[in-house]
Amino acid sequence: MVRYPATAIELGKQIALKGQRGVNGDTIEGISAPPRRTRRWLVPAIGVGAALVLTAGMVTWLTLSDSKGREPAKTAKVSKQVSTPLPAGTAQRGTGSRLIAGDSTHLYSPGATCKPEGPQDTCEITLGVSSDQGATWTWFPIPGTYSGGPKDFVPDSTHLTITARGTRVAMAYSGLGKSWATDDAGRTWTIRETAPEQFPAVARIPDGATLEHAGGIVLSVDGQLSKLQNPPPQVTGTSDGIFSRSADGTFWYGGSYDNGAVALYTRDQGRSWQYLTGPDGARKPQISVRDGRHIYVSAFKDRRVWRTADDGKTWQELALPPGKDWISPLATADGGLAVITTSGEALTVTKDGTALTTAASGLPVNFARAWGDEPMSGAGKTGARYRSADGVQWTPFTG
């Protein structure tokens, strides 16, 4: 295995594309853009492929190599490899914080297996596969994925782009133009290497595909990487580093932008882009949306939550009970909200924002999240992993 010098900044410059700018709220060539600000450019997170990752205050270089340790090909290259399931009970790192549903029965979760290598740990990315709604799990190593970091470092799945349909799964780190795809739930993998400048252009995000980052790179479920003809504009500020798709097909890219927006989104599969203007007083906001219309923004440190049903034209602040510290608000499929508190309670809000009641208590979850239409997932105080459909009832993983 060869470790390549990390060139995240250079890669970001190559793949982050400049968007059109105009008066905030107006659409120019398909992009609703903010006023110009002279601040740093945001380069969204690029994953394991030659990326710079900040983890617990430490700089961790993530590298990739193929089985012979060669640099990624400059022209299109396709290879196939078989993955042998890991023995039951193999320790996994970085799991439990993310679930991806292929359909009503197939669930997927990224993780990693690690071993000491001198002063560092060397990890191989894995994919947990469940065909029984999360009751049991089988873990497959992803061929040719390696990461090196300090002892006990935990890979961060937010740097990994995944899309799934049934037993078909695709994963990518498009900064190096490399993707992995399986059509049999992890047993065999097709590995594609394509120079980013050779990505084909597409007018919209195809069905079953997802966006890799704000540069407009599209990952299809067969592993094909392409580039939107009308990519999202560059933005200044900070982002959560990942696109999410709500049930109505809208793609969201949450963050805290210098123009006051809390998200960048498209409702027409990437043909045009809009900004969601946030509520006044939302410091370091986080966005949560599942149905695509009822949008919630939270300010974690201030313990404040707002909702909008008209794409940010008006905001309603929810009256949370005083003295409660919550983990994170999670939008529900019916347009409501579940708020989990650190004391193990689940508070629920109806989609019209008029009711907030205690729905459950004694919950074991102390970390929970959901990206768009992905299932809710969480981790407990003992490291156990949980999943939920409504943010109120939580079921442990057993695999």
* pLDDT tens per residue across all 399 residues of the chain: 333 333 333 333 333 333 333 323 333 233 333 333 333 333 333 333 333 232 333 223 233 433 334 344 346 789 999 999 999 888 777 655 678 889 988 999 888 888 877 777 788 889 999 998 888 889 999 988 776 666 665 555 656 788 999 999 999 875 678 899 999 999 999 999 988 888 999 999 998 899 876 578 899 999 999 999 998 887 676 666 668 889 899 998 887 777 778 888 999 999 999 999 889 877 778 888 999 999 999 887 777 889 999 999 999 998 877 767 777 788 988 899 888 887 778 888 888 877 777 888 888 877 777 767 788 888 776 667 788 888 888 888 766
**DSSP designation for 198:** G
CB 56 within 8 A of CB 152: no
Nearest to 239 by CA among 272, 216, 213: 213
Predicted TM-score (pTM) of this structure:
0.74
Residue 99: what are its φ and ψ, rounded to 5°?
A: -125, 145
What Rg do the C-alpha atoms of the chain give, in angstroms? 20
Task: Provide the 10 A C-beta neighbour count for residue 371.
Answer: 23
Domains, the chain: 1-247 (no CATH), 278-399 (2.130.10.10)
Q: Which of 357, 361, 356, 364 is nearest to 383 (CA)?
A: 364
Residue 229: partners with Cβ closer than 8 Å, 6 or more residues away: 201, 202, 203
The per-residue pLDDT for 238 is 64
Residues 212 and 49: their CA atoms lie apart, in Å, by 13
**Torsion angle (degrees, nearest 10) of CA 375, 380, 384, 387:** -20
- The residues, ordered by sequence, that sit 6+ positions from 10 with a Cβ below 8 Å of its Cβ are none
Whole-angstrom distance, CA of residue 190 vs CA of residue 182 = 6
Please name the helix (run of DSSP H) or strand (run of DSSP E) that holds residue 10, with its range, or none.
helix 8-15
pLDDT at 396: 81
Phi, psi of 122 (to 5 degrees): -110, 125
